[in-house]
Structure 1
Amino acid sequence: MNDSLQSSCKDIVLIHGLYQNSLVMKLLGRRLNAFGYKTHYFDYPTLKQDLSHNTSALKAYLREFKQPFVIIGHSLGCILTLNTLHQESFPLLQSVIAITPPFLGSRIVKYLSEHQSVFLIGKAQNALTPKDDSLSWDFSIPLGIIAGTQNTGPSALLLESLTNTIEKDSMISDGTVYLDETRIKGFTDFITLPKSHTMILFDPTLPQLCDYFIQHHHFHSIVDLV
């Protein structure tokens, strides 16, 4: 990787997740602005358009960048990023940070599919359907993964309380995505925050972790950030 490009990288593309729009990423964006970054927001319809359509839109959006940039995705936005990079390379892309990424799919989506409730996921169903663990990050671009560990949310309700498919508290999750669903072979570094799936975006240490990864391609210790 070109070190001069890495050191001059000041542009960040923030990509939201399911049921959201760019507003949910604004606080993180403002906090990253304080580190000197210029933030950009990619909005896409998470329910009304499928992964293929949104990938085409993201490719067109990223082609407009003429300077080094970083992508920070949340949840479904991480899958969208992965699918986009499988289809096209972006030489100016310096690194990717994936926040609570369901890279291997979601058990919740599987449950909804099996119980005729997949309409709640809309056209994001295929993107979030569980995959085998052979999926890998086959790019030279550094990938940092930040996962949550506060199990309050749909996964606790649907999977543990209702379906009893997973023994309560036997697996760590952020209340929506389980920890083992976030890891993809080939990632550069991995860290967790004690936050739920969406609330992790508002954690004050999150922008610090992102900034450190952008600069060094690994995460700083949480203890040192508090």
Structure 2
Amino acid sequence: MDGRRPDSATVHAILVHGMGRTPVSMLLLAKRLRAAGITTHLFAYSAAFERWLPCVERLSKFITARVGDQRFIIIGHSLGCVLTRAVLPHLARAPELGVFLAPPTMASSYAIKLAQWRLFRLLTGEMGQLLARQDFMDSLPVPDIPLRVYAGIKGPRGSWMPFGDEPNDGILSVKEVQLGTIPVQLLPTIHTVIMNSRQVASDIVAAVNSRA
């Protein structure tokens, strides 16, 4: 990884974890970014106990309080990317870069299948139900900022598997990660650990340095 420190003032990175995870899942990525001189902030939420709009509002306040008028980027994983898309229009200043790790961009086939189960509804709350609604996913704005999108391709494949022979990360197919015409970078990893890819950290540091 390019370990050069950003050449300008402090750069902040807001990291937003995925559904069913905690900020702990983003610690390795945060550590690698801090080693390159980027200040990291881990946003915590609970899909099971928090409603959608209050969570978006809280994320907006979290970002504003931590970045002030300094440079910042946003990194989301899975549902964290959905939260990021929702919060961007509410920010007084846009981030200079968005990084989406395995973002669901359409109604997730997994969420649709599981939404009928009461246990899934209890564990994922309103947010989990929203991921199964195509009208909700279509309502999210496409970010008008430089964006890097990553998808894993090490999920199981075969005619008997949920995604058939489609490349997938075990939770989402690459097709479910595609956001408009934005290029998707494919990584040899699975959904739950995509944030630990060294390439992701290296790419983020290089992108921040290129904008210094």
Q: So what's the TM-score if we normalise by structure 1?
A: 0.78
1:150 alignment counterpart:
154
Cα separation, 2, equivalents of 1:134 and 1:14: 24
How many pairs were matched up? 201
For the Cα contact (< 8 Å) 1:46–1:124, is it kept in 2? yes
**Structure 1 pair 179–147 and aligned structure 2 pair: CA distance change class (3 A):** same
1:184 alignment counterpart:
179
List per-residue Cα deviations over 1:5-32 (Å, max 9, x = no partner).
x954611011100111111101110011
Structure 2 residue matching 1:184: 3-state secondary structure: coil
The root-mean-square deviation of aligned C-alpha atoms, in Å, is 2.7
Cα separation, 1, equivalents of 2:34 and 2:64: 22
List per-residue Cα deviations over 1:57-109 (Å, max 9, x = no partner).
101111212111100010110000101124x1331521110001012131111
For the Cα contact (< 8 Å) 1:68–1:92, is it kept in 2? no
Shift of 1:56: 1.1
Flag structure 2 segments of 5+ consecutive residues without an equivalent: 1-6
Q: Give the alignment of 1:33-112 within 5 angstroms.
A: 33-64=34-65, 65-66=67-68, 67-86=70-89, 88-112=90-114
Shift of 1:52: 1.2
**1:175 maps onto 2:170 in alignment:** yes
2:191 alignment counterpart:
197
Cα separation, 2, equivalents of 1:43 and 1:24: 11
Shift of 1:126: 3.3
Shift of 1:199: 1.9
**Structure 1 pair 101–160 and aligned structure 2 pair: CA distance change class (3 A):** farther
**Structure 1 pair 151–50 and aligned structure 2 pair: CA distance change class (3 A):** same
- For residue 213 of structure 1, the aligned residue among 191, 207, 212 is 207
Cα separation, 1, equivalents of 2:17 and 2:108: 17
Cα separation, 2, equivalents of 1:124 and 1:21: 15
Cα separation, 2, equivalents of 1:216 and 1:104: 31
For the Cα contact (< 8 Å) 2:13–2:75, is it kept in 1? yes
**1:128 maps onto 2:131 in alignment:** yes
Q: What percent identity do the matched residue pairs reach?
A: 25
Q: Which stretch of the first structure deviates more once superposed, 50-59 or 122-131?
A: 122-131
2:3 alignment counterpart:
none
Cα separation, 2, equivalents of 1:7 and 1:175: 39
Cα separation, 2, equivalents of 1:136 and 1:213: 25
